[in-house]
C-alpha cells in the first residue's frame, strides 16, 4: 500500500487561476457582462475560475491525475496550495539492473523520473539540494521511513516555498534592471517596461474597448506559460478586464503595433501567482501585437 500525506500550505486554497475560461454560469454570477471564451486567456485575463488546473511533469495542462505530480508542480511554482509531504511504497528490490530502452513501459518510467528531476533543477535554482532529493527518492522507493520527522514536513515545505519565492523575486528584479538599461526600452511611472518592435499607425483603444491581439507570454527564464501565437488563434478581450500591465500598455499602442512588455509582479499577479504556470512574484514578458479594435 502507498501512504501519501497532504498538507495545506499557507492556510488556504491554491487560489484562483487566471487561465482558461470560466463557464457562463460563473460569469453571470459576477454581475459583469458576458465575455466569449476566446477573450479569456491565461496570463492576462483578470477573471478566474474557481479551480486550479494541474500541471504535469511535462508542463502540460493535462495532468496525470497523480497527487505527487500536482504537488510537485505546486511547490515548484510556489503556490499556497496542497503539497505532498511524503509517499511510501512497499519494500522493493533496489538492486541495480540494466536499463532496457527497448521496453516502452520501462522507458516511460525512466522518463517520469528524468523529467521530474530536470524540472526541479530548472525551477528550483540553487535552493533545492539535489543530493538530498535523490536520497529522499531512494528511501521512498525502498519503502524506508522518512529521515525527516513527519511532524516537521508542513513547516519545512513552507520554508522551501519562501526560499523559492525570494529567489524568483530577486531574479525578476535583476532582469528588469538589466532590461531597463537598454536604450530601446521605456519604463513608465508604474514600473511597466515596453519596447516598440513595430510602430502601428492605427487608432489607440480606450479602457472600455474590446481588442483583438496576438501575444506570446513567458517567464524571465523563457518558459512559455501562454501564447496565442503558438495556438494560431488571436484573442479578443476588453482592455480593462486584463492585468494592469496589459491595460496600461494597450492604451498606448496603435492598431498594427507590436510591443515587447516586461511586467513587474505588482502589475501582474503579485504574491498570488496564477495556477501552475505563473509563480508568485513573477515578472512576466510578453510580445503583444494589437490587431484590431472591435
Question: Annotated catalytic residue: which of 17, 175, 269, 278?
Answer: 269
Question: Known catalytic residue: 286?
Answer: yes
Q: Does the annotation count 226 as an active-site position? A: yes
Is residue 155 exposed (0-12), middle (13-18) or buried (19+ Cβ within 10 Å)?
exposed
Q: Choose, from 17, 194, 215, 237, the residue flagged as catalytic.
A: 215
Helix or strand (DSSP H, E) at 70: helix 67-76
3-class secondary structure, 86: strand
CB 254 within 8 A of CB 203: yes
**Cα separation, 196 vs 191, whole angstroms:** 16
Grid cell in block for residue 145? 521511513
Q: Catalytic one among 226, 237, 263, 278? A: 226
Catalytic residue among 225, 237, 263, 278: 225
215 in catalytic set: yes
Locate 73 and state its grid cell: 508542480
As a whole number of angstroms, the distance between CA 79 and CA 135 comes to: 25
β-pairing verdict for 193-198 and 185-187 = antiparallel
Is residue 269 annotated as a catalytic residue, yes or no? Answer: yes
Catalytic residue positions, numbered: 215, 225-226, 243, 269, 286
Amino acid at each position: 500500500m502507498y501512504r501519501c500525506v497532504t498538507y495545506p500550505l499557507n492556510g488556504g486554497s491554491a487560489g484562483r487561476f487566471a487561465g482558461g475560461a470560466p463557464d457562463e454560469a460563473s460569469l453571470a454570477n459576477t454581475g459583469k457582462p458576458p465575455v466569449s471564451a476566446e477573450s479569456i486567456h491565461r496570463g492576462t485575463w483578470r477573471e478566474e475560475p474557481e479551480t486550479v488546473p494541474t500541471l504535469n511533469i511535462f508542463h502540460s495542462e493535462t495532468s496525470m491525475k497523480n497527487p505527487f505530480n500536482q504537488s510537485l508542480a505546486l511547490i515548484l511554482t510556489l503556490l499556497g496550495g496542497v503539497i505532498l509531504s511524503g509517499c511510501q511504497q512497499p519494500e522493493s528490490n533496489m538492486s541495480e539492473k540494466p536499463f532496457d530502452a527497448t521496453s516502452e513501459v520501462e522507458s516511460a518510467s525512466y522518463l517520469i523520473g528524468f523529467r521530474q528531476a530536470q524540472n526541479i533543477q530548472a525551477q528550483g535554482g540553487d535552493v533545492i539540494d539535489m543530493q538530498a532529493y535523490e536520497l529522499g527518492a531512494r528511501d521512498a522507493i525502498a519503502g524506508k521511513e522518512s529521515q525527516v520527522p513527519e511532524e516537521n514536513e508542513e513547516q519545512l515545505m513552507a520554508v522551501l516555498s519562501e526560499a523559492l519565492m525570494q529567489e524568483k523575486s530577486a531574479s525578476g528584479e535583476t532582469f528588469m534592471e538589466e532590461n531597463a538599461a537598454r536604450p530601446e526600452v521605456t519604463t513608465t511611472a508604474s514600473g511597466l517596461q515596453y519596447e516598440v518592435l513595430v510602430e502601428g499607425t492605427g487608432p489607440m483603444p480606450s479602457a472600455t474597448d474590446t481588442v483583438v491581439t496576438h501575444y506570446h507570454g513567458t517567464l524571465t527564464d523563457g518558459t512559455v506559460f501562454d501564447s496565442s501565437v503558438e495556438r494560431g488563434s488571436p484573442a479578443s478581450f476588453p482592455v480593462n478586464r486584463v492585468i494592469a500591465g496589459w491595460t496600461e500598455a494597450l492604451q498606448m499602442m496603435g492598431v498594427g503595433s507590436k510591443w515587447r512588455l516586461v511586467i513587474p509582479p505588482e502589475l501582474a499577479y503579485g504574491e498570488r501567482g496564477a495556477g501552475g504556470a505563473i509563480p508568485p512574484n513573477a515578472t512576466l514578458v510578453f510580445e503583444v501585437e494589437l490587431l484590431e479594435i472591435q
